[in-house]
Amino acid sequence: MKITVERLVSISAVVTLAAIVLMVVSIVFPKPLLLVMAMSLGQGIGTLSLALYLLAIALDLQGFRGEVEEDAAGTAPGSGPPAP
């Protein structure tokens, strides 16, 4: 499976949604186990997904710089790989 910036961002979005669901469930149904899950697993995977997004953006910026150099050589400008 090819890893692209878009795919990383999509994975990050899905994981963040899962983290948000965990945290919201603990707010709506504040039971001990759910609170512990939200404060540990929920926030853990939320932080992980943010790190994944920042990694994706860093990779995208690196790609963007490469394209600036290509622009100087006369190729078409763009802000990153095209959307699928």
Q: Which of residues 3 and 36 has its CB atom nearest to another protein in the complex?
A: 36
Q: Which tokens sit at 59?
A: 């990779």
Angle at 2 between CA 79 and CA 51, to 5 degrees: 65
Token pair 């994981």 is found at: 15
Phi then psi dihedrals of residue 82, to 5 deg: -65, 150
The residues of the shown chain that bind another protein, judged by CB under 8 A, are 5-6, 9-10, 12-14, 16-17, 19-20, 23-24, 26-27, 30-33, 35-36, 38-39, 42-43, 46, 49-50, 53, 57, 60, 79-80, 82-84
Q: Which of residues 54 and 70 has its CB atom nearest to another protein in the complex?
A: 54
